[in-house]
Structure 1
Amino acid sequence: MKVLKFGGTSVGSVKSILSLKHIVENEARRQPIVVVVSALGGITDKLLSTAQQAVSGNEAWKISFEEMVDRHHKMIDTIITNTIDREDLFNKVDALFEQLRSIYFGVYLIRDLSRKTQDAIVSYGERLSSNIVSSMVRGSMWMDSREFIKTEFAHGKNTLDSVLTNKLVRDAFAELPRVTILPGFISCDRDTGETTNLGRGGSDYTAALVAAALNAEVLEIWTDVDGFMTADPKVIRSAYTIDELSYVEAMELCNFGAKVIYPPTIYPVCIKNIPIRVKNTFNPEGRGTIIKGKVENDSKAIRGISSIKGTTLITVSGLSMVGVIGVNRRIFTALADHGISVFLVSQASSENSTSIGVRDEDAHKAVSVLNKEFEAEIEDGAMFPMHAESELATIAVVGENMKHTPGIAGKLFGTLGRSGISVIACAQGASETNISFVINARYLRKSLNVIHDSFFLSEYNVLNLFICGVGTVGGKLIEQIRSQYEQLKEHNRLKLNVVGIASSKNAIFSRDGIDLANYRELLKTSETSTPEKLRDNIIGMNIFNSVFVDCTASKDIAALYRSFLEHNVSVVAANKIAASSRYEDYAYLKDTAMRRGVKFLFETNVGAGLPVIGTINDLRNSGDKILKIEAVLSGTLNFIFNAISADVPFSETVRMAKENGYSEPDPRLDLSGTDVIRKLVILTREAGYRVEQADVEKHLFVPDDYFQGTLDEFWKRLPQLDADFERRRRLLEAEGKRWRFVATMDGGKTSVELKAVNSTHPFYNLEGSNNIILLTTERYKDYPMQIQGYGAGASVTAAGVFANIMSIANV
């Protein structure tokens, strides 16, 4: 036989209760079943709130009462089609409502609501719903749970008399009807015969008690979800249903906020090794979750994540606690005597402090109770007054396989740390099936997502990108991400989720991701943005695994890096300004990224997509020392000096470089050597030397006065240089040489200069807009390492930025 329990949502609407009927009648064809039902969804709360109205003398209780009557009547009118059956059911239901009305009226008259009266009131929810279900399911027998679920009053509350209950259940079901309908939740005091209840969620408990007493084949809990989820799907969209859980894992998840089943439900069936199957009334074909003694063939260390909002952490501390026996007994006895539940305990090994986690609603009372308990010690100064910290949340990471996997706690806290999330308190039992910790509540969503993602509970690893700049490089990058999106999902199990895009004037944000096929149109209709607004939005979203990607040349945007890194947002920059700014600022960004466990990457600052900076870092990390760097670092200038000829004057080559997208938007940055100087400073710093832009010795080829005034004035004057360049070009050609603008670092000393190189020099045959870098190191002293290739262009720069992003994804 089976026991099936249906929750409030399963009997809360016409659609759900008809689904219940179909499920029950199908099961009854196979074997005898016992069906336990809750009150209609929301009715228990309505019963209690109406009681509060009555006891306060508010005549609105009558309206609330009639609303409950009307709801049940409408349900009966809709689902019971047989006239005789419907009339019979109306009589039963109305008789119950008459009793309930009398109780409410009494409460209203005498302004008293005792525990006994309140228990009687809430019992009507299940009594009404179970009678409706029994009338709907043909051939079923209704039984009153109060006849065999017995409680006793002890320690200020009703507790189950399990021995008597087991005996009475077996006696009541000595002959099993095909279908038995029971009201859940309600019970009866064994001594007084008064109606009691098993507490909120008690219908699950009723079903478990019956299943255990009758040695049922399985206990099925029918609810409005497909089963236990790896995390809260309202917070984590990638959360999915867990096929199997052990009893221990299910209990841990239930205790920490996974409101799928009532925690006491598990024990009665666990000791009888009766599996629990959680199913969805609205999706009966779904597999659901099976809970049993042992889960086979599971490789995941973590099974699920659960959380409790509204946590307050109370710290009991004082030097008098060290080595004193009985302090913790006093703490927990005092709290238990006042009905305060503690769900987390964390104690320092020095014993001078114990932190306990309670729900916010219990915090004030708990502080008062503990201050009273330790009043003498606090007055003497041996202990401090209780310290309560609220606006916290507690997370539990659950899985029996954790005890077989070394390093889980290290990975967990390391993952949180890299995301900028501080753990305020933690607790782990020796069984290692649950690691619980307390964090600031504002980081709850971020914490759940990053843990779910990092421990392979998600189907995909997710990287959340904020892309600033949609010009040539930014536009190409977005195209590349869009074209590679499905490939990365399929082969790398990686989702590049673009959650923010900003142009020079507008910005759009979406936690769920932006449509990359339509982002330009979305930008046009979005609100205007400033660097400050951009910063506040990104930090305010507080999103996990986030990366800020700067595809601009803006000084104001580069100034935001510090805030992003300090808030554990990685930075990938095509923008050279930050890495070539004051050395102290550069060093601070690098140090902050290292301290915070995030990335500050700027490979495309030099050589576009060429692996220059990464190679230098690899050499240094392996113990090599960079002695000298010689490089042609400007694709623009190399293009200009390759294109210049008798037919193509100097001014025309500059214009061609601009039109082909090789130069900066303002080509004077290239011609003045500013761009090359920045690149040289960046390489020198990455090679381990301290240098500023002002330290670079400059030998330029365009007079300084050409860099004054407006850009239009520059273009007008530029042809005046053509004749001199042509004269010098002819002399160079006669000598068999070519111009190259060379950046040099030698022992920390830096310079840039337009040099003439002959045909034997590695720079001589450098084509188009290519870059070349020669690295002389202690290991590559006689034959320098050479890196050469495209050093300019939107596509290769975007590809380099993309490669930096991927390196973060693969950490």
Structure 2
Amino acid sequence: MAAASMMMQLHGSWFRPKNVVCSYRQQQSIVCTLSFPNGDVTATATARSSGVGTMSIRCFRDQETTESATTASAAAAEGDFTVVMKFGGSSVASADRMRQVADLILGFPDENPLVVLSAMGKTTNHLLNAGEKAVCCGVSKTSDIPELTLIKDLHLSTVSDLGIPLSVISSHLDELDQLLKGIAMMKELTPRTKDYLVSFGECMSTRIFAAFLNSLGSNARQYDAFDIGFITTDDFTNADILEATYPALSKRLRDDWLAHPAIPIVTGFLGKGCKSCAITTLGRGGSDLTATTIGKALGLREIQVWKDVDGVLTCDPTIHPRAQPVPFLTFDEAAELAYFGAQVLHPQSMRPAREGDIPVRVKNSYNPKAPGTLIIRGRDMSEVLLTSIVLKRNVTMLDIVSTRMLGQYGFLAEVFSTFEDLGISVDVVATSEVSISLTLDPSKLWSRELIQQELDRVVEELEKIAVVNLLQHRSIISLIGNVQYSSLILEKAFHVLRTNNVNVQMISQGASKVNISLIVNDDEAEKCVKALHYAFFESNDVPNSRPGVGNGAAILVEN
């Protein structure tokens, strides 16, 4: 489709797109990205055939794009914040990556951004491993911990390469040394100490980046989230943000901006316990939640989450390289994707954005020109069948059978109180008249797998009230999309799985109405994802399928 042959009307004015990139075909429609000469506005549109030689164009976000640009300019002119930009660890993993991120941030002169950063690269993992080794290595040996050396080398070389003073992080490196010696002396790494330990990653990355921006002549100000109003529960390693955070955060950031305008560089992932006043963390990936909380607190136009992939994809690209970017998602779809294992977003991060009705845009810091994924409250689902396929591995499944369930009440309460007492989360549930099938979340604190001792306790407690069958090495394949068409989704899915001789051991439909979960053996899971992706997103062979994504043709995938 040539740009020269197309004209589009945008709010009463006609423009000729100077570039049209068609990303994928959906039967009689083509999803395109169009760039217009008026300020290089980019919009995503669907072109649908309406006769020979003609295409009618529907621009999904033309109003949002135009109004957002106007709102951003007005807010910037008034001196208020317009957008929060969150960058993950891979985006700031080196001096070169920090330079690229700085160029990206400063490349939007009409914006007044806030920036949220994660720790550099694998620093959080290195800090955790260093803490675990300090418990048993002895005080005199802490300086020899390999992970500590890696952390120091990375941060010192980054400071040197960027040409900023060592004093920016020297006190933190000294304090980290002392903390590891203290852990070695006590021979214990409590959840509270663990949160304090991992906070060094974000505290150093933000100080380095703020100092670098200032060295470029920009005004930047570093903030530790726990000092500016991020108030949380005292659930160390997995704290929840409290409502008191929003007014405190808004007042502090706006007061500082009015007194002396500077780009805020905020630590992701961190908070302060409401009772303990100690540093807390928001769980793995919590920097996303930091960004959306800031977005809601300040009522921003947009929340941008910059990752190392081109937005949210139709499946994990490490499983299937033909995964495709998803142009639009609803908050509900994004929350389900995150909960069931998609690594792009933190499971809790959608809540503040949904409550504030603030769009979230997921983009690629390595490929900033890619459109990414826009997450909004609602979208036209009439032509959507499936949005994405998510795989969650290493799941434990329990079959609980008891005739006490038949016609009785309170049995389910007994079952779930057992999990509550043991502090274990349940993922997926399916029930019948006399049985319950469920899966256990494989992640407890810091993604630690459920150890066998804990599983044995679960079975022991449940066997007091039922017959229990424990099945390990299972995977959850979640089909995220328009579950209004669940019968069609299941028809296609079971056709694919039957072709590949895969037995589904459990099926559950989420209450959100955007998710269907299938339980299969771990060793068959990747094969299933590849075959399902082909059927729903790549195949164009079968007629009479629902307009939208894919049509259900099945292929046999070899392990």
Task: Quote the residue 1:396 is aligned against.
Answer: 478
Residues 309-368 of structure 1 deviation map (CA, whole Å, 9 limit, x = unaligned):
1112111112233233222222222212322121111222x2334333442832635533
| AA aligned opposite 1:320 | R
What's the counterpart of residue 345 of structure 2? Answer: 261
Residue 135 of structure 1 aligns with which residue? 211
Distance 2:353 2:122 in 1: 28
AA of the residue aligned to 1:545: I
Supply the distance in 1 between the matched residues of 2:438 and 2:525 (Cα, whole angstroms). 20
Report what 1:371 is aligned to: 459
Q: Deviations over 1:168-194 (max 9, x none)?
A: 111112243341101111111222321
In the alignment, which of 212, 221, 246 is matched to residue 330 of structure 2? 246
CA-to-partner distance for each residue in 1:21-70, whole Å, 9 max, x for gaps? 1111113x112111000001110011111111111125654233233112
What is the one-letter code of the residue matched to 1:332? F
Alpha-carbon distance in 1 for matches of 2:452, 2:408:
26
Structure (1 or 2) with the greater helix fraction: 1
- What SS does the corresponding residue of 2:383 show, helix, strand or coil? coil
Deviations 1:632-667 (A, max 9, x none): xxxxxxxxxxxxxxxxxxxxxxxxxxxxxxxxxxxx
Matching residue of 1:123 = 199
Instruction: Kindly provide the CA deviation profile for residues 487-537 of structure 1, in whole angstroms up to 9, marking residues without a partner as x.
Output: xxxxxx99x9xxxxxxxxxxxxxxxxxxxxxxxxxxxxxxxxxxxxxxxxx
Counterparts of 1:514-663 in structure 2, within 5 Å, are: 545-546=555-556
1:162 is paired with a residue whose SS is: coil
Give 4+ residue runs of structure 1 displaced > 4 Å after superposition: 459-462
CA contact (8 A) 1:403 1:431 kept: no
Q: Is the 8 A contact 2:459 2:470 kept in 1?
A: no
Q: 1:198 to 1:358 in 2, by over 3 A?
A: closer
Say yes or no: does 1:200 pair with 2:284: yes
One of 321, 332, 343 as aligned partner of 1:237: 321
Give yes or no for contact 2:131–2:180 (8 Å, CA) kept in 1: yes
2:246 counterpart SS class: helix
**Residue of 166, 175, 180 corresponding to 1:99:** 175
Quote the residue 1:62 is aligned against.
Answer: 143
In structure 1, C-alpha distance between the alignment counterparts of 2:511 and 2:192, rounded to whole Å: 41
Letter in 1 for 2:104: I
One-letter identity of the residue aligned with 2:267: P
1:23 is paired with a residue whose SS is helix
Mapping for residues 215-364 of structure 1, pairs under 5 Å = 215-296=299-380, 299-348=383-432, 350-359=433-442, 361-362=449-450, 364=452
Q: Does 1:8 align with 2:85?
A: no
Q: SS of the residue aligned with 1:132?
A: helix
1:50 equivalent in structure 2? 130
Pair 1:420–1:143, CA change in 2 (3 A):
same
Question: In the alignment, which of 105, 119, 123 is matched to residue 24 of structure 1?
Answer: 105
Q: Distance in 2 between matches of 1:356 and 1:158?
A: 21
Relative to 1, partners in 2 of residues 1:422 and 1:158: Cα closer, same or farther, differing over 3 Å?
closer
- TM-score w.r.t. the length of structure 2 is 0.76
User: 2:367 and 2:142 mapped to 1: Cα distance?
Assistant: 37
Is the radius of gyration larger for structure 1 or structure 2? 1
Which of 112, 116, 121 aligns to 1:36? It is 116
Q: Answer whether contact 2:507 2:518 (CA < 8 A) is retained.
A: yes
Count of paired positions: 453
Q: Which residue of 2 aligns with 1:424?
A: 505
Equivalent position amino acid for 2:406 in 1? V
Q: CA RMSD for the aligned pairs?
A: 2.5
Q: Give deviations 1:475-498, integer Å, cap 9, x for gaps.
A: xxxxxxxxxxxxxxxxxx99x9xx
* CA distance in 1 between partners of 2:243 and 2:119 (Å): 27
Counterpart residue number, 2:160: 77
8 Å Cα contact 1:151/1:158 also seen in 2: no
Which residues of structure 1 form unaligned runs of 5+? Answer: 81-85, 378-382, 463-492, 497-543, 548-566, 570-811
Give the conservation status (yes or no) of the 8 Å contact 1:4–1:35.
Answer: yes
Q: How has the CA–CA distance of structure 1 residues 161 and 309 changed in structure 2, closer, same or farther, with 3 Å as cutoff?
A: closer
Which amino acid is the alignment partner of residue 398 of structure 1? I
Tell me how far apart the structure 2 counterparts of residues 181 and 276 of structure 1 sit (CA, whole Å): 19
SS at match of 2:130: helix
2-structure distance, mates of 1:206, 1:431 = 24
CA contact (8 A) 1:311 1:359 kept: yes
* Structure-1-length-normalised TM-score: 0.53
The whole-number CA distance in structure 2 between the counterparts of 1:173 and 1:218 is 17
**Whole-angstrom distance in 2 between the partners of 1:365 and 1:461:** 50
Structure 1 residues 206, 100: closer, same or farther in 2, change over 3 A? same
Superposed, 1:157-168 pairs within 5 Å as 159-168=239-248
* Cα distance in 2 between the residues matched to 1:24 and 1:231: 29
Q: Partner amino acid for 1:259?
A: Q
1:6 and 1:37 in contact (8 A); partners too? yes
Residues 1:409 and 2:490 aligned together: yes
What's the secondary structure of 1:303's corresponding residue?
Answer: strand
> Is the 1:5–1:221 contact (alpha carbons within 8 Å) kept by the matching residues of 2?
yes
Is contact 1:335–1:369 with CA below 8 Å preserved after alignment? no
Contact 1:313 1:358 in 2 (8 A): no
SS across alignment from 1:169: helix
Q: Secondary structure at the match of 1:30?
A: coil
The letter of the residue matching 1:114 is T
> Is the contact made by 1:25 and 1:137 (CA closer than 8 Å) also made in structure 2?
no
1:406 Cα shift?
4.8
> 1:664-694: CA deviations, max 9, x gaps?
xxxxxxxxxxxxxxxxxxxxxxxxxxxxxxx
Q: Matches of 1:356 and 1:322 in 2, distance apart?
A: 22
How many angstroms does 1:391 deviate by?
A: 2.0
Aligned to 2:64: none
Aligned residue type for 2:85: L
Structure 2 unaligned runs (5+)? 1-81, 444-448, 543-549
Q: Structure 1 CA distance, aligned partners of 2:405 and 2:381?
A: 46
Q: 1:433: Cα distance to partner?
A: 1.2
Q: CA deviation at 1:376?
A: 3.8
CA contact (8 A) 1:246 1:295 kept: yes
- Deviation (angstroms), 1:165: 0.5
Check the 8 A contact 2:84/2:294 in 1, yes or no.
Answer: yes
Match of 1:808 in 2: none
In structure 2, distance between residues paired with 1:346 and 1:405: 16
Displacement, 1:301?
0.6
Structure 2 partner of 1:439:
520
